């Protein structure tokens, strides 16, 4: 009897450890209260509607709909204003309906190659470049993301007014072309070539760009 009790207690302990490990990682979800609403959903009294953003990091599952779609967090958003709804085949970003999604204004963070960087100096540099972009020359290339001796460019998207996700503005890229720091803005495409307008970055921002984009 004591032997069987010992086995039972051991199994219960192992189960508890497994649950304690898996629940925080989203592998086990107890909340199945969300309701699908068109391409969005209702959860905890809030309506979430589809939206789009260039950059964010999809995280763990914290709830499911009654028809078993996953609700996954956006890692950069602790308030769950943004969520990803996902099935086996489909997924898209949703935002709480009452949230005014800022797509312009003060730059408070940027994403470089999909990684969010919360740095005030880099945000100030991005703000300046957005507000003072003036095309100085055109540049045509098959892929601006293919690093060569003359070209080292990075994707950049912008977070406005504290928003946790990044917005793509005109297909912007930041980096060096022919040794010069530039912001590149896509303006056209012909055959295999894509055309960008280039604007030189002021020297005062070289240091912070070298740190995060070099």
Q: What is the pLDDT of residue 143?
A: 92
- Compute the distance between CA of residue 84 and CA of residue 93 in angstroms, rounded to an integer: 4
- Compute the distance between CA of residue 152 and CA of residue 210 in angstroms, rounded to an integer: 12
180-190 and 193-200 strand pairing: antiparallel
Q: Helix crossing, 206-213 with 120-131: angle to 10°? A: 110
Distances (CA, A) of 184 to 16, 22, 38: 53, 44, 38
- Closest CA relative to residue 201, chosen from 133, 137, 120, 108: 133
17-71 tens-digit pLDDT: 333 333 343 358 899 999 999 999 999 999 999 998 989 999 999 999 999 999 9
Query: Could you count the other beta carbons within 10 Å of the beta carbon of residue 102?
Result: 15
Q: How confident is the model at residue 4 (pLDDT cuts 50, 70, 90)?
A: low
User: pTM of this prediction?
Assistant: 0.81
Domain ranges of the chain: 27-96, 107-213
Tokens describing residue 205: 């921002």
């Amino acid at each position: 009897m004591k032997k069987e009790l010992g086995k039972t207690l051991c199994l219960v302990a192992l189960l508890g450890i497994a649950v304690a490990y898996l629940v925080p990682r989203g592998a086990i979800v107890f909340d199945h209260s969300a309701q699908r609403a068109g391409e969005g959903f209702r959860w905890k009294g809030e309506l979430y509607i589809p939206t789009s953003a260039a950059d964010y990091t999809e995280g763990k599952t914290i709830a499911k709909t009654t028809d078993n779609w996953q609700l996954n967090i956006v890692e950069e958003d602790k308030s769950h204003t943004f969520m990803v709804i996902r099935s086996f085949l489909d997924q898209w970003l949703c935002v709480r309906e009452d949230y005014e999604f800022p797509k312009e204004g003060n730059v408070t963070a940027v994403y470089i190659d999909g990684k969010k960087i919360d740095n005030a100096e880099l945000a100030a540099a991005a703000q300046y470049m957005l507000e003072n972009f003036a095309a100085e020359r055109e540049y045509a290339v098959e892929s601006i993301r293919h690093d060569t001796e003359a070209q080292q460019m990075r994707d950049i998207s912008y977070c406005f007014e504290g928003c946790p996700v990044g917005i793509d503005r005109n297909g912007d890229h930041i980096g060096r072309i022919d040794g010069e720091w530039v912001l590149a803005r896509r303006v056209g495409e012909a055959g295999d070539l894509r055309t960008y307008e280039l604007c030189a970055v002021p020297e005062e921002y070289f240091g912070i760009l070298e740190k995060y984009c070099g």
